[in-house]
Structure 1
Amino acid sequence: MTIDGDIARFDVIVVGAGFSGLYALHHLRELGLRVRVLEKAHTVGGTWLVNRYPGARCDIESIEYSYSFSEEIQQEWVWTETMSAQPEIEAYLNFVADRLDLRRDIDFETTVVAMSYSDEAAEWTVRTEDGATVAAPFVVAATGILSVPLEPSIPGMDRFTGTSLHTGRWPDGVVDLSGKRVGVVGTGSTGVQLIPVVAREAEHLTVFQRSPAYTLPWRVRTFEPGELDELKASYPQIRAAQREHPVGAARLSAFSVLLEMLAKPPLKTASAEERTKAVETDGIMGALNWGDLFFDIEANQMAAELYGQAVARIVDDPATARALTPSHPFACKRPIIDQGYYETFNRDNVTLVDLRADPIESVCPNGIQTAAGLHELDVIIYATGFDAMTGALNSIDVRGRGGASLREFWTEEGPLSYLGLAVAGFPNLFTIQGPGSPSAAANFVAAMEQNVEWIGACVSYLREHGFRTIEALPEAQQEWVDQATALVAATVLVHPSCSSWYNGGNVPGKKRMYMGYTAGIPEYRRRCDEIADAGYAGFKLA
């Protein structure tokens, strides 16, 4: 480290110490670069540190939702469940940080508030909340795609005299809900995981449902004796298959189940008897396991009716079952694994409030007032989702070439990027799993490792060939966005009736655009490699 006045200078500054930031630090350090990570939390973990809410769990098998770059880490770490819960993933990331001695290059409790690029110096200056300043030619934004909680805007929230919690800022330590009247606002992925757990503890749980969710029934289990050892012995084969799988998860996952549905017979040509039998035999999966749901909105609506029938076979009260039946297209939102979600609504201590019919008017000192009346509560839990993909960087005042604001650019033009790795007008700024990357529809860890390794190779290339800057060209960026958009144009993913974090429709004022790349990780890797092999085509090197 060199010091110039009060400014500490490095080769690369990494923002964030979750899955992406930890690997970026390790990989870039192995390349001989002087790297500093700035992390606003008190320790590592990123999204898996702050989302400590009861029931938080990954929807990809633990042996694949893990780093593949280190054989030692693969063999030394012991997973206990097929799909890991939050505490185990947080512990895993702490283990990795210690095993690789990463903490010595991380500044914790350091919130980045501004980053500005100097054309003359070809350097980024990064300012933190406490007034400190650091600088480097390159910045890697490892800020996460689901790291900024979406704050609800309900009149009177500050007047509630009980306990208010947000799932994306869950406090450290045990939150005792026993004997409490608890309200949960939101039934997305977080709510579906949270609600069954809270219902078992609270005296009474009131679920305020904004939009019913589609779920995939799942059985998560502990590993049998010797099972994990067998899997570890097969890691070379597992990783090879994972690398070639479109979603980067060769074993069972919510995403792989969706892919398998594409090969199923179409629903529109199935007879009434075949449809009924599918629901009677396979329940919810029978309602959804058809090949034309992703491209034919009429077939998708037919599946919603079957889904309602499947829910009615689980939920005892017909009115509750109807309220739990979604109206938006299946698959336009992230699939959700379900461990007893619908069965929860058969409990005597659980009440569903369908906000489509009975909207919230305000939060009162002693509960939530809806159009139909007051629900008295001791605790309100807001499970209202995230400002996904762009929220973390938009919370920082990022200024690129000529002082251009990234926040203003993404607000006005939409979340554009080239490869999900760079944004035109912002030289030497790399975004891990940014908009236009496979992150929204893939195993995040598998896609992230490719991003980090591509960035490392790019920085090495620039240094070896005497280049100071790399910047995405606007025309290449637009071409990439057009390609990504074309991939989903004929699917329900962009149907106007769906507002999800995939398309920014869950955030008021956010420009609506599908933010993922759906051709699969192998094709994405091929395109990234092709661009690099061509001397970083679509970029200006200077």
Structure 2
Amino acid sequence: MSENTPAPDTDVVVVGAGVTGLYTVHRLRTLGHRVRGFDRAADVGGVWYWNRYPGARCDVESFDYSYSFDEDLQQEWDWSEKYATQPEIMRYLHHVADRFSLRDAYTFETSVRSAELDEDTLTWTVRTDTGETVTSRFVVFAVGCLSSAQRPDVPGLDSFAGPSYHTGEWPHEGVDFTGLRVGVVGTGSSGIQSIPEIASQARQLTVFQRSPNYSVPAGNEPLDDARRRRVKAGYAERRRLARLSGGGSPFTTYPKKTFEVGEEERRAAYEKRWQLGGVLYSKTFPDQLVDRAANDAARAFWEEKVRARVDDPAVAELLVPGDHPIGAKRIVTDSGYFETYNQPHVRLVSLRTRPIERVDATGVVLADGEHIALDALVHATGFDAMTGSVDRIEVRGRGGRTLKEAWAAGPRTYLGLGTDGFPNFFNLTGPGSPSVMVNVVLAGEQHGDWLADLLAYMEAHGHRAVEAAPDAVEDWVRECRDRAGATLLMEADSWYLGANIPGKPRVFMPYVGGFKVYQEIIDAVAADGYKGFRFS
């Protein structure tokens, strides 16, 4: 950069005001960096701002799904439930934003449309949909893995005369389904969480199941003062254990493999995880996601539990997955989901055997000719996960090449942080990192801290720019692919692989080595002078 080149407007642009974006803004500002944040929402919250559907709840325990960076914050906030609902999580994030004065860094209701590198100055020009242009030395995406809603491609969908909703873009004023005939398409996480709530209001509920999913009762319960005091007193140890775990929560797998114990001991271990609830069940034994026989044993226990909850064996048969190992898709945490189908006004339609032919003004027409009359339609059809939120923004690096072009065959990153050809550009808690496989709040702190240390290192050594080396990217892509390939995760058509998006490359996008191992890797890279990155 020459002496006559104007200084950039800011040091860092952060895109996204979810848990990762908020922490990154806070961390970088405490180091003296000028930070501009942008978010398309009207306030902080990220994925929780949009996902307001009935029953929306976190599948990580509230005590763990919270920031650890400030002890006073940990001690002053009181969670009301074991698994927090969306409104409570939003209240928490508002509290954090207020406490650390984070909102003044952001421009809300503003979408970043493009970010373009100036190769001469190694700065970025960021443009928004409101016409604002900002130059910045660094650009940081914290746009989330599950924030680009995906609607089904069904003929006639726009002709439906009644109200239509997507769980990922739920009206903030809520929806009253009282007395209505409602159709819900999709039985992933948002479908499984919302269906019991919608059933409690609707006159008739028809669930259109694209593929059955594994779900485990949340075991949710209110938290009393004694429990809160006990956890807060031991928070330091709880966080230490969380960082030593695979998933960023203070739980470890059983100390022995599945068949190193007898049936009685094995069932007791499953039962304990069943009572803990949700995603933890997929990690009961250490070999559960690498050995098919071990997985089958866990699956059999799950199936026994679920069939006992559903009165009609034919309906239970439709609800039991037969196409993928348990845990190969993210296990859902539910509250009374399977029991919902015991209610006489709730009907399950399997789209595998009876697909939707079209939607008309008054309902859904199945391929066999049946017309199902509906007053309202809910799409619980998920997201263009991992890369969809990044793809919405035109990012141009060296030679004018777009990030979308660079990732055309699947995301290519080094450590899930940098991409060759895009200096001073970082994508946090996304593809190539543990992200959706772990507690994302601690993952956000993990990435925010590492990035802050990198920028401090650059300042101390007089570096203007940093960029992932092509060979480092290639090695990391191979590392992520090989780790996933050694598991059963590749045997499911999951959004981890982009399988829910027609035409999307089938690449396993997260890093599956676990929170602790990943931390050791990025720490070692930093200790070795940020090996694999090039400075200029």
Paired with 1:244 and 1:431, the residues of 2 have a C-alpha distance of 24
**Aligned AA for 2:526?**
A
Paired with 1:274 and 1:469, the residues of 2 have a C-alpha distance of 55
Among 480, 490, 493, which residue is 1:494 paired with?
A: 490
Q: Is 1:404 paired with 2:401?
A: yes
Among 258, 265, 285, which residue is 1:265 paired with?
A: 258
Q: Provide the residue aligned with 1:231 in structure 2.
A: 231
Q: Provide the residue aligned with 1:384 in structure 2.
A: 381
1:482, CA displacement in angstroms? 1.3
Structure-to-structure mapping, 1:526-537, within 5 angstroms: 526-537=520-531
**Structure 1 residues 283 and 233, CA, compared in 2 at 3 Å: closer, same or farther?**
closer
Query: Which segments of 5 or more consecutive residues in structure 1 lack a partner in the other structure?
Result: none
Paired with 2:272 and 2:229, the residues of 1 have a C-alpha distance of 35
Structure-to-structure mapping, 1:49-60, within 5 angstroms: 49-60=49-60
Query: What TM-score do the two structures reach when normalised by structure 2?
Result: 0.93
Structure 1 contact 46–144 (Cα < 8 Å) conserved: yes
Q: Which string of whole-angstrom CA distances, capped at 9 and with x for unpartnered residues, describes residues 15-36 of structure 1?
A: 0111111111111000000001
1:439, CA displacement in angstroms? 1.1
**Aligned AA for 1:393?**
V
1:513, CA displacement in angstroms? 1.2
1:464, CA displacement in angstroms? 2.0
Q: Provide the residue aligned with 1:144 in structure 2.
A: 144
Paired with 1:400 and 1:488, the residues of 2 have a C-alpha distance of 29
For residue 241 of structure 1, give the secondary structure of its aligned residue in structure 2. Answer: helix
Q: Provide the residue aligned with 2:122 in structure 1.
A: 122
Paired with 2:5 and 2:269, the residues of 1 have a C-alpha distance of 71
**Structure 1 residues 86 and 283, CA, compared in 2 at 3 Å: closer, same or farther?**
closer
Structure-to-structure mapping, 1:52-131, within 5 angstroms: 52-131=52-131
Q: Which string of whole-angstrom CA distances, capped at 9 and with x for unpartnered residues, describes residues 477-531 of structure 1?
A: 1111211222222221012xx2111111111111111112222212211111111
Q: Provide the residue aligned with 1:503 in structure 2.
A: 497
Structure 2 contact 246–514 (Cα < 8 Å) conserved: yes
1:77, CA displacement in angstroms? 1.6
1:277, CA displacement in angstroms? 11
Paired with 2:134 and 2:271, the residues of 1 have a C-alpha distance of 62
**Aligned AA for 1:208?**
F
Q: Which string of whole-angstrom CA distances, capped at 9 and with x for unpartnered residues, describes residues 166-201 of structure 1?
A: 000001012111111111100011111111111111
**Aligned AA for 1:514?**
F
1:43, CA displacement in angstroms? 0.5
1:538, CA displacement in angstroms? 0.4
Q: Which string of whole-angstrom CA distances, capped at 9 and with x for unpartnered residues, describes residues 59-106 of structure 1?
A: 111111101111121122221111111000011111111111111111
1:305, CA displacement in angstroms? 5.6
Paired with 2:267 and 2:66, the residues of 1 have a C-alpha distance of 40
Percent identity reads 46
The count of aligned residue pairs is 527
Q: Provide the residue aligned with 2:197 in structure 1.
A: 197
**Structure 1 residues 227 and 290, CA, compared in 2 at 3 Å: closer, same or farther?**
closer
1:218, CA displacement in angstroms? 2.5
**Structure 1 residues 358 and 6, CA, compared in 2 at 3 Å: closer, same or farther?**
farther
For residue 457 of structure 2, give the secondary structure of its aligned residue in structure 1. Answer: helix
Paired with 1:279 and 1:447, the residues of 2 have a C-alpha distance of 27
RMSD: 2.7
1:330, CA displacement in angstroms? 1.3
Structure 1 contact 308–322 (Cα < 8 Å) conserved: no
Paired with 1:453 and 1:113, the residues of 2 have a C-alpha distance of 27
For residue 114 of structure 1, give the secondary structure of its aligned residue in structure 2. Answer: strand
For residue 390 of structure 2, give the secondary structure of its aligned residue in structure 1. Answer: helix
Query: Which segments of 5 or more consecutive residues in structure 2 lack a partner in the other structure?
Result: none
Q: Is 1:354 paired with 2:350?
A: yes
Q: Is 1:336 paired with 2:332?
A: yes
Query: What TM-score do the two structures reach when normalised by structure 1?
Result: 0.92
Paired with 1:357 and 1:184, the residues of 2 have a C-alpha distance of 17
For residue 502 of structure 1, give the secondary structure of its aligned residue in structure 2. Answer: helix
Structure 1 contact 55–193 (Cα < 8 Å) conserved: yes
**Aligned AA for 1:475?**
D
Q: Which string of whole-angstrom CA distances, capped at 9 and with x for unpartnered residues, describes residues 222-254 of structure 1?
A: 112322122212222222222222211005xxx
